């Protein structure tokens, strides 16, 4: 019976030489806070947040104003107000129309 001796080199997977494990240098772009994948991910997140905020601003235009002039609704308050407003509109649609006393010429 022969025993085989293993070295640490036997456990290194292919393509994992020290040269392959080194990361490539990334250039720094001061105007954007970096040019690597993290900077791109941060930029995508900023864009996503900007679009979400624009959506909330648009939604605030369609819901009735609350009794708080000059104070913007939070995102949660905006969603709750939109839900309440939709409920009110649904209720109005369920009610029979009131008689109209206007007769067109």
Overall pTM surpassing 0.75 (yes/no): no
Structural domain includes residue 16: no
Helices 37-62 and 75-94, packing angle to 10 deg: 40
| Structural domain count, the chain | 1
What is the CATH classification number for the domain harbouring 55? 4.10.280.10
Structural domain includes residue 88: yes
Contact (Cβ atoms closer than 8 angstroms) between residue 35 and residue 26:
yes
| Domain interval for residue 48 | 39-94
Q: Which of 3-12, 49-58, 94-103 has the lowest mean pLDDT?
A: 3-12
Q: Which residue has the higher pLDDT, 62 or 70?
A: 62
Structural domain includes residue 2: no
Measured distance CA(80)–CA(58) in Å, rounded? 15
Q: Which residue has the higher pLDDT, 90 or 16?
A: 90
3-state secondary structure of 24: coil
Between the alpha carbon of residue 99 and those of residues 69, 92, 95, the distances in Å are 35, 14, 12
Measured distance CA(63)–CA(83) in Å, rounded? 9
Structural domain includes residue 102: no
Position 46 scores a pLDDT of 97
Structural domain includes residue 6: no
């Amino acid at each position: 019976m022969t025993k085989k001796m293993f070295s640490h080199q036997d456990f290194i997977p292919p393509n994992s030489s020290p040269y392959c494990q080194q990361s490539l240098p990334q250039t720094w772009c001061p105007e954007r806070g970096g040019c690597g994948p993290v900077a791109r991910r941060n930029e995508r997140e900023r864009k996503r947040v900007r679009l979400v905020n624009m959506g909330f601003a648009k939604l605030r235009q369609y819901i009735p104003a609350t009794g708080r002039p000059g104070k913007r609704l939070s995102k949660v308050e905006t969603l709750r107000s939109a839900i309440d407003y939709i409920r009110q509109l649904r209720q109005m649609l369920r009610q029979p129309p009131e008689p109209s006393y206007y007769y067109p010429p």
